[in-house]
């Protein structure tokens, strides 16, 4: 699964004239707080399933948290690193400021994991959502985990959706009226907020213009 997602992100970077490896190499020489573990080596090990015993012990210790759902610490860690790489790429492509609680790329304990948005653009919070398949495009259904949508509306945020397999985006300005309803998500075992009938998908240049205009 991670390998397939990495291929999709790599393909997107190639189209945009970017090198995904460059984003990973940026972390070389940076170590996790309180350790001598190099972030580049550990990130690479997570993505390739080739951690050393010391790295594996650290990951299991730091990622033994409820946020990982039913995933193992290794699965959760690899998804986390992949998410950080996507954020780094999107930040550069769209000229955004990284501001999430994990912007320092540390494995955080539960008490320090916040619901802050991933980015800012001027005075507007920007939340990134990613669809690895074609669910959004095919069905026009966009799910927000738990009470995430309510918090984003309260923050006057803009949601930047990235349907990476399709090469499409959406820019949803939550300062404007958004119609949604509750729907039970059996995978999470909880209710989520659902925006349905959504069809405002954009290519890269359109998304950039829309984002600058506030959606």
Return the domain boundaries, the chain: 2-98, 115-212
Mean pLDDT of 181-204: 89
**Can you tell me the distance from the alpha carbon of 131 to that of 126, in angstroms, rounded to the nearest whole number?**
16
Given a cut of 60, is residue 194 above it in pLDDT? Answer: yes
In angstroms, the Cα distances linking 148 to 99, 158, 195, 201 are 17, 13, 12, 21
Chain segment 4-43, per-residue pLDDT in tens: 999 999 999 999 999 999 999 999 999 999 999 999 999 9
Given a cut of 90, is residue 187 above it in pLDDT? Answer: no
Residue of 146 and 50 predicted with greater confidence? 50
Residue 213: predicted pLDDT: 78
**Can you tell me the distance from the alpha carbon of 168 to that of 174, in angstroms, rounded to the nearest whole number?**
19
What is the share, in percent, of the chain residues with pLDDT greater than 90? 75
Q: How far is CA 209 from the centre of its chain?
A: 21
Q: How far is CA 211 from the centre of its chain?
A: 17
Residue 129: predicted pLDDT: 96
Given a cut of 60, is residue 166 above it in pLDDT? Answer: yes
Residue of 120 and 189 predicted with greater confidence? 120
Phi (first) and psi of residue 8, to 5 degrees: -65, -45
Residue 175: predicted pLDDT: 84
Phi (first) and psi of residue 125, to 5 degrees: -70, 140
Given a cut of 90, is residue 161 above it in pLDDT? Answer: yes
Mean pLDDT of 68-81: 84
Residue of 113 and 165 predicted with greater confidence? 165
> Is-contact 202 138, C-beta < 8 A?
no
Chain segment 113-151, per-residue pLDDT in tens: 666 788 999 999 999 999 999 999 999 999 998 788 999
Residue 52: predicted pLDDT: 95
- Average pLDDT in the chain: 90
Residue 109: predicted pLDDT: 74
Residue 112: predicted pLDDT: 65
Residue 44: predicted pLDDT: 97
Residue 77: predicted pLDDT: 93
Strand ranges for the chain from DSSP E: 97-98, 119-121, 124-131, 142-144, 158-163, 168-173, 181-185, 190-195
């Amino acid at each position: 699964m991670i390998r397939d997602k990495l291929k999709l992100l790599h393909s997107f970077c190639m189209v945009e004239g970017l090198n995904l490896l460059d984003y990973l190499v940026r972390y070389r020489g940076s170590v996790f707080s309180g350790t001598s573990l190099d972030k580049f080596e550990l990130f690479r090990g997570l993505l390739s399933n080739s951690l050393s015993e010391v790295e594996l012990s650290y990951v299991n210790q730091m990622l033994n948290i409820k946020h990982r759902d039913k995933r193992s610490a290794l699965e959760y860690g690899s998804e986390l690193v992949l998410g950080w790489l996507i954020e780094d790429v999107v930040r550069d492509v769209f000229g955004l400021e990284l501001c999430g609680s994990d912007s320092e790329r540390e494995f955080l304990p539960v008490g320090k994991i916040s619901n802050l948005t991933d980015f800012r653009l001027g005075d507007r919070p920007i939340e990134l959502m990613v669809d690895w398949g074609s669910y959004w495009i095919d069905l026009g259904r966009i799910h927000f985990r738990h009470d995430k949508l309510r918090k984003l509306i309260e923050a006057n945020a803009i949601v930047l959706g990235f349907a990476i397999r399709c090469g499409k985006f959406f820019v949803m300005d939550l300062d404007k009226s958004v119609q949604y309803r509750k729907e039970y998500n059996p995978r999470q075992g909880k209710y989520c907020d659902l925006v349905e009938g959504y069809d405002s998908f954009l290519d890269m240049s359109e998304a950039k213009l829309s984002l600058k205009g506030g959606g």
